[in-house]
Structure 1
Amino acid sequence: MNLEATSEASWLHDLSPRSRELLDRVGEVAAACAERADEHDRAATFPRKDFEDLATAGLNAATVPREHGGLGLGPLNGDTLTLWLMTKELAKADLSLGRCWEGHANSLVLLHALASEQQQARWFDGIVRGGEKWVAWSGEPQARKPGEGTRFGTSISAVDGGWVLDGSKAFATSATGADWAILLVNTAGPGGARHADGPPEGLLLLACDLSDPTVTVDDSWWDPIGMRGTASHVVEFHQTFLPEEHLIGTPGAYLHEGWQSAFTPHYAASFLGAAEGAFDYAREYLLRQEKTADPYVQQRAGSMAVNIDTAHLWLAHVARLWDGGDRPGAQRAGNRARHLVEHLALETVDHCVRACGARSLVRPSPVERILRDLTFYARHDNDDHVLATIGRAALGQTHDSSFFKP
């Protein structure tokens, strides 16, 4: 990663030498990942080789605490910005990869926050030494897609020694690539975390070994316009037994403690990566085509540069709040950053297309994929709900910082 070439280089120099070395290392991996992005997009396949490269480079355990052999990054380890900048670099190469990486890194944050010492010792070892990939799945939407006859959802029953799970989850990121999943399931019935009607205490986090033969993947459902490489297929559970030692934390802790708010600004880091990818393409293209004298092109380039800088500054601000222990402040600022960076990123890609013209949307231009991916991924967490939550907080009204409930 060429720090001097990036718009945020003026304050990147404040990062520790270790953080700068990690960003250089992830930049080298991201360059190879970018070469494979089109392949995964066209085939809607999980970026397995990308994760192998990350493990080989010693980067796959980014949010695992140092005492367990990880890099010790993220909001629980006092080094949040480095993690988010790593995510930005991977999303810049391939937004689908960035999403899969987010899911993995965020899952390890949950293990760090809620799992027992015995659970951490077991599962972190598999990540650090075995390169195992994790993800967290909640998606049980009750609305059907066009032409669909059934709804998704799971039902869970308590049995001796654990629980039995039946049903299906949609939008299951990394379905064909992950080794373990943290399942957000509800004793009140279908709906996972977002769509269930029961009390928070009904929400359980259960670790599931995805090599279990009772867990199958239906790859016929995932055919979206963008984020195809996330392989977010439907996963089906057929009387899947989940032992009690796989329960992570206490029932309802995910909602009561607002853990979603630790991940909200992480999404913004991925949005920023997509925007920076479009900006880099635009600069190179406009210079090569000698279009930089056009005052309208100059205005769009200026807008892109300001957007990129603004997004970096917001992420740095939220990261400082997390690292400083101001969790309420970090939650409020994280929601604002998530909302703002979505719009900055979408605007930046639009400026790129308008400055570079229609040929920027013709393959093999990466902008064509960036536009589709970012448009689709920005639907992850409804921005209307995010903004309404920000408004309720500003007005002093009761609000859920994770915007699960109105």
Structure 2
Amino acid sequence: MDLAISEATWLQSLGPHSHELLEQVGDVATECAKRADEHDRTGTFPAKDFDDLAAAGLNAATVPREHGGLGLGPLNGDTLTLWLMTKELAKADLSLGRCWEGHTNSLVLLQALASEQQQERWFDGVARRGQKWVAWSGEPQARKPGEGTRFGTSITAVEGGWVLDGTKAFATSATGADWALLLVNTAGPGGARHADAPPEGLLLLACDLSDPTVTVDESWWDPIGMRATASHVVEFGQTFLPEENLIGTPGAYLHQGWQSAFTPHYAASFLGAAEGAFDYALEYLARQNKTADPYVQQRAGSMKVNIETSHLWLAHVAQLWDSGQRAGAQRAGNSARHLVEHLALETVDHCVRACGARSLVRPSPVERILRDLTFYARHDNDDHVLATIGRAALGETHDSSFFKP
């Protein structure tokens, strides 16, 4: 694929090691793509994909080098390489890309907030044993039509730690992860996103998911797309979380705005889905001898420009993170997340319109890409994201992480 404009700007910023890593990820992603349809049909976590990433030495991407990792991400001065790795995996399977995001973002949080002793303990499990991590906050309080109960957790302080009861929804990688970072509120249900309690009530606690008091309810997760993320409801029944598993100071996740480091990472996954549709369209249109059609040419041109633009935005935000311009990175990250969502959805639409209905018939990957991207773009409400960008531009008080007024 010719991305000459982008290559002149963002690819030249990557060193030889980054290019080697992206080539490795591309090789793994090729095999993951072959399994994506089966994972989607069965709604099963892509465990073999993560095994392949671990075997290739890629699963510890955001673990610092001194702890045996690759040292990528916004805390290590190499953000773009991480996001391009995510793009390649999401291009193969957007559900895989989301599970990978959750894993790598969790390790960023450990590097940012965990003690040195905690890092030595948990990073070793990732780098040496291929352990998989996730971060769960989801406790939506408003019921949808037909929903009988709210989700949510309650936590009680006891000698030596806390006891957790209740449920979390949208728990990505629920049947595949080994450890979870739990965002729980001492004020009661709501997690980080849906709680109105003071920030100091938000605890970040590591939970060993092999604990028998942690169970998974697989009956709830039956979505139109992103099925293989296995984002089930997880139930905690008197789960003991020891003091040594408390990460950082209470409220640090909100006070330091860590969610804003992950917002543009979602955009990298959106871009992967768009690039997957574009590659399919180029091959399909050539085989169907439709490349001389001027309307097809316009759609191909639009797809190419959308993908180039998305790369440039990601490279821009990554550079801000790597140069320590955190406030600028937060603002630009929200803009990138908003824009790339629209560019990616438009690219998939161009693909479908250019290729026709057969592109939506299995085993065409476009059918899955369309469902997955449509669903995953709801991860944040884009109306709220855009309003937050506007509030920042107008000098109004705003929440850059969770897009609240």
TM-score (norm 2): 0.98
Q: How many angstroms apart in 2 are the aligned matches of 1:160 and 1:197?
A: 27
How far 1:371 moved relative to its partner?
0.2
Letter in 1 for 2:174: A
**Deviation by residue 1:252-290 (Cα, 9 ceiling, x = unmatched):** 000000000000000000000000000000000001101
Give the equivalent residue in structure 2 for 1:367.
366
Give the equivalent residue in structure 1 for 2:237.
238
Q: Is the 8 A contact 1:349 1:371 kept in 2?
A: yes
Letter in 2 for 1:125: D
**Deviation by residue 1:96-126 (Cα, 9 ceiling, x = unmatched):** 0000000000000000000000000000000
**Deviation by residue 1:162-206 (Cα, 9 ceiling, x = unmatched):** 000000000000000000000000011000001112100000000
How far 1:8 moved relative to its partner?
3.7
Q: How many angstroms apart in 2 are the aligned matches of 1:179 and 1:61?
A: 14
Letter in 1 for 2:227: R
Q: Is the 8 A contact 1:133 1:179 kept in 2?
A: yes
How far 1:391 moved relative to its partner?
0.3
Q: How many angstroms apart in 1 are the aligned matches of 2:132 and 2:2?
A: 33
* Partner SS, residue 129 of structure 2: coil
Letter in 2 for 1:110: L
How far 1:381 moved relative to its partner?
1.0
Q: Is the 8 A contact 2:154 2:165 kept in 1?
A: yes
Give the equivalent residue in structure 2 for 1:271.
270
How far 1:14 moved relative to its partner?
3.4
**Deviation by residue 1:313-342 (Cα, 9 ceiling, x = unmatched):** 000000000000000000000000000000
| Structure 1 pair 127–261 and aligned structure 2 pair: CA distance change class (3 A) | same
The within-5 A match list for 1:34-49 is 34-49=33-48
Q: How many angstroms apart in 2 are the aligned matches of 1:340 and 1:330?
A: 15
Letter in 1 for 2:315: A
Give the equivalent residue in structure 1 for 2:61.
62
Q: How many angstroms apart in 1 are the aligned matches of 2:396 and 2:196?
A: 22
Q: Is the 8 A contact 1:152 1:190 kept in 2?
A: yes
Give the equivalent residue in structure 2 for 1:300.
299
Q: How many angstroms apart in 2 are the aligned matches of 1:182 and 1:255?
A: 14
Give the equivalent residue in structure 2 for 1:95.
94
How far 1:398 moved relative to its partner?
1.3
The within-5 A match list for 1:7-406 is 8-11=6-9, 12-406=11-405
**Deviation by residue 1:33-64 (Cα, 9 ceiling, x = unmatched):** 00000000000000000000000000000000
Q: Is the 8 A contact 1:63 1:74 kept in 2?
A: yes
Q: How many angstroms apart in 2 are the aligned matches of 1:180 and 1:358?
A: 42
How far 1:5 moved relative to its partner?
7.3
Q: How many angstroms apart in 1 are the aligned matches of 2:270 and 2:4?
A: 16
* Partner SS, residue 155 of structure 1: strand
Q: Is the 8 A contact 2:165 2:237 kept in 1?
A: yes
Q: Is the 8 A contact 1:88 1:269 kept in 2?
A: yes
Q: Is the 8 A contact 2:28 2:52 kept in 1?
A: yes
Q: Is the 8 A contact 1:389 1:403 kept in 2?
A: no
Q: How many angstroms apart in 2 are the aligned matches of 1:287 and 1:279?
A: 12
Letter in 2 for 1:341: V
Structure 1's consecutive aligned runs of 4 or more residues displaced over 4 angstroms after TM superposition are 3-7
Q: How many angstroms apart in 2 are the aligned matches of 1:96 and 1:366?
A: 13
Q: How many angstroms apart in 2 are the aligned matches of 1:149 and 1:273?
A: 37
How far 1:143 moved relative to its partner?
2.5
Q: Is the 8 A contact 2:89 2:272 kept in 1?
A: yes
How far 1:142 moved relative to its partner?
1.3
How far 1:385 moved relative to its partner?
1.0
Q: How many angstroms apart in 2 are the aligned matches of 1:290 and 1:145?
A: 47
| Structure 1 pair 175–184 and aligned structure 2 pair: CA distance change class (3 A) | same
Letter in 1 for 2:84: L
* Partner SS, residue 241 of structure 2: strand
Q: How many angstroms apart in 2 are the aligned matches of 1:6 and 1:111?
A: 37
Gap regions ≥5 residues in structure 2: none
Gap regions ≥5 residues in structure 1: none
The range that moved more, 391-400 or 369-378, is: 391-400
Identity of aligned residues (%): 87
Letter in 2 for 1:331: Q
Q: How many angstroms apart in 1 are the aligned matches of 2:104 and 2:265?
A: 10
Q: Is the 8 A contact 1:194 1:404 kept in 2?
A: no
* Partner SS, residue 13 of structure 2: coil
Letter in 2 for 1:303: S
Aligned residue pairs: how many?
404
Q: Is the 8 A contact 1:34 1:93 kept in 2?
A: yes
Letter in 2 for 1:39: E
Letter in 1 for 2:141: Q
How far 1:10 moved relative to its partner?
3.7
Q: How many angstroms apart in 2 are the aligned matches of 1:257 and 1:109?
A: 13
Q: Is the 8 A contact 2:385 2:403 kept in 1?
A: no
TM-score (norm 1): 0.98
How far 1:6 moved relative to its partner?
8.1
Letter in 1 for 2:299: R
